[in-house]
């Protein structure tokens, strides 16, 4: 299928903006893809076969043809359809909620809201009042609200918003969250980068280009926090000759 244009914001810009705010905020659009219906004339493009349950196992399977009525997960065009739908909807509220629509327009990564505020009152207005109202009018629910400010988390919980992780007075019981795949400790407010690829590098064995590439490929660091270190893997890669040397 034609994937459509790329309407997803740049990860680097998104994370930098996220960390510039005093109060960091994330949320998720509940079952986002399943809130968008496909036109009847487009459903033939997403047909699938399903065996008839009453078919005898000894017989040749008989299949029924079904069609998806909603946007599917995992299809190349799905992120575009979701982003385009959200942008089309929030544009209707540009004059009524200028600040919030600008935030939603630039801070939604597929179905994740990644934003922030300077104080609790601004965060509550952004989340509980404006953004929640705009998205509910699109039949989309924002949930799994998360923040580095525990007072805000308690306020959200008291006002009936579903928070994630569930607020606990024992910070050791709050698991790491993730922001576009980067582990985030919401209590102490820091990112962590998984470096198992480097730790598993066995220096007692012959280090080849293949080994270097495999180790570097295991590190997910879209912003480049570890670039001063991972650049050494790149240098080692170019110093060798031959893929297996």
14, 21, 29: which is closest to 149 by C-alpha? 21
- pLDDT exceeding 70 applies to what percent of the chain? 84
- pLDDT exceeding 90 applies to what percent of the chain? 54
Place of tokens 């050791």: 172
Give me the sign of the Cα torsion angle 21, 163, 78, 89: negative
pLDDT at 196: 75
Give pLDDT tens digits for 159-200: 888 897 655 555 556 667 899 999 999 888 999 988 876 676
Confidence of residue 2 (pLDDT cuts 50, 70, 90): confident
Mean pLDDT, the chain, as a whole number? 85
Contacts of 233 (CB under 8 A, 6+ apart): 212, 215, 216
Contacts of 228 (CB under 8 A, 6+ apart): none
CA angle (102 as vertex; 98, 106 as ends), nearest 5: 175
What kind and span of H or E run contains 172?
none
Total-model pTM: 0.82
pLDDT exceeds cutoff 60 at 67: yes
- Report whether the peptide linkage leading into residue 49 is cis, meaning its omega lies within 30 degrees of zero: no
Distance CA 33, CA 140 (A): 10
Render 21-76 in DSSP notation, one character per residue. Answer: SSEEEEEEETT-GGG-BPPGGGGGGGEEEEE-TTS-TTSPPPEEEEE-SBPPTT-T
Give pLDDT tens digits for 7-30: 999 999 999 999 999 999 999 999
Confidence of residue 203 (pLDDT cuts 50, 70, 90): low
pLDDT at 213: 75
What average pLDDT does range 56-80 have in this prediction? 84
pLDDT at 93: 94
């Amino acid at each position: 299928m034609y994937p459509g244009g790329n309407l997803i914001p740049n990860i680097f810009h998104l994370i930098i903006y996220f960390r510039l705010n005093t109060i960091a905020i994330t949320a998720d659009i509940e079952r986002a893809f399943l809130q968008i219906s496909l036109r009847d004339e487009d459903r033939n493009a997403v047909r699938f076969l399903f065996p008839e349950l009453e078919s005898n196992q000894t017989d040749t399977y008989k299949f029924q043809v079904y069609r998806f009525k909603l946007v599917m997960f995992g299809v190349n065009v799905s992120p575009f359809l979701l982003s385009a739908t959200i942008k089309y909807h929030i544009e209707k509220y540009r004059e009524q909620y200028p600040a919030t629509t600008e935030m939603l327009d630039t801070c939604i990564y597929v179905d994740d809201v990644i934003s922030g505020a300077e104080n609790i009152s601004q965060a509550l207005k952004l989340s509980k009042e404006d953004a929640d109202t705009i998205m509910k009018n699109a039949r989309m629910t924002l949930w799994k609200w998360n923040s580095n400010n525990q007072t805000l988390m308690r306020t959200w919980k008291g006002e009936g918003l579903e928070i994630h992780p569930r607020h606990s007075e024992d910070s050791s019981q709050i698991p790491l969250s993730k922001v576009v795949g980067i582990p985030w400790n919401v209590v102490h407010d820091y990112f962590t980068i998984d470096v198992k690829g480097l730790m598993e590098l066995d220096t007692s064995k012959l280090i080849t280009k293949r080994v270097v590439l495999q180790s570097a490929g295991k590190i997910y660091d879209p912003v480049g926090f570890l670039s001063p270190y991972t650049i050494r893997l790149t240098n080692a890669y170019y110093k060798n000759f031959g893929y297996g040397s």
